[in-house]
Amino acid sequence: MQEVIRIDAFPPPEMAERAENVGVKKANLDFWSTFALAVLAGAFIALGAEFCTLVVTNTGFGFGMTKLLGGLVFCLGLILVVVAGAELFTGNNLIMMAWASRKISLGQLMRNWGIVYFGNLVGSLATAFIMYLTRQWAFANYGVGATALNIANGKVNLSFMEGLTRGIMCNALVCLAVWLCMSGRSVTDKILAIVFPITAFVTSGFEHSVANMYFIPMGILLKAEPEVVSAAGKVASDLANLNLLGFIGNLISVTIGNIVGGAFMVGLVYWFIYRRPKKESTP
């Protein structure tokens, strides 16, 4: 018998089943595989952030179009995660579906999130350090470095509520992108599913905890470069919150927001619609 090749998208009920099964596999992956894949994901998202920083420097296109270009190129990060294979904390918030169906325990859920979050941090920090050593930030008369510094400084000066709500909106879109990927049968399907939600979150200025693991440390490193500070039009007092405490404060609010937006607003909502136990109707 010939194998039947289908090109139609999986419908939402099948997407929900696939997402649940993926969650079970992720939760049962061994420590070192999970950690290594998480380091890769942190590096992949950092590459998207670096690409975004470069592209939005001195575009001359105005605010909206510049943000749109940045969002479009940032998609590189999630495309690498989904197609190449990696463990990303924000996307893994969808494992909540497997927990809701009692296919994994709360301990397994938290174990995955903890390992992946730490691995993402390691990958992001390593990439930031390597990018700092490249001195790419000196491009365009230190314009690239100035862009990176201003991005980071803006993030550490967000209030808790701003970080929380922007984190919610960000990961609702990120998890919707991952959810849409569950409908795809090809690499092309998955890339197209990623582009619009991710472009929307970056263009809208929402906050992604793993991306911030690159953006803010990069800004902290560049804070020590006088040429970058000057090109950014800043003085030392303007950068008072760009430090370790500012970094941690941003991650706390944004991470909580990411969990609310991804695990609850996307994962549990689709679980409730398609996977919750339903009473059989009596004849």
**Conformation bin of residue 163: beta by default, left when phi > 0, alpha when psi is -120 to 50:** alpha
**Domain membership flag for residue 67:** yes
Hey, what's the torsion of the CAs at 207, 211, 217, 218, to 10 degrees? -110
pLDDT above 70 as % of the chain = 96
Task: Output the domain CATH number for residue 189.
Answer: 1.20.1080.10
Closest to 216 measured CA to CA, from 37, 35, 46: 46
pTM for the full model? 0.95
Provide the pLDDT for residue 4: 58
Tell me the H-state helices in 28-105.
31-55, 63-74, 76-79, 96-100
Q: State the average pLDDT for the chain.
A: 95
Res. 280 pLDDT band, cuts 50 70 90: low
| Residue with token string 């927001």 | 257
Res. 2 pLDDT band, cuts 50 70 90: low
Total domain count for the chain? 1
Averaged over 129-145, what is the pLDDT? 98
Averaged over 83-90, what is the pLDDT? 98
**Domain membership flag for residue 197:** yes
**Domain membership flag for residue 280:** no
Alpha-carbon distances of 234 from 54, 59, 67, 226, rounded to whole Å:
19, 20, 22, 10
| pLDDT tens, residue by residue, 143-176 | 999 999 999 999 999 999 999 999 999 999 999 9
Question: At residue 1, does pLDDT exceed 60?
Answer: no
| pLDDT tens, residue by residue, 198-232 | 999 999 999 999 999 999 999 999 999 999 999 99
Residue span of the structural domain in which 26 resides: 12-274
**Domain membership flag for residue 184:** yes
Res. 42 pLDDT band, cuts 50 70 90: very high
Question: At residue 122, does pLDDT exceed 70?
Answer: yes
**Domain membership flag for residue 123:** yes
Provide the pLDDT for residue 31: 98
| Residue with token string 């008072």 | 240
Provide the pLDDT for residue 5: 60
**Domain membership flag for residue 220:** yes
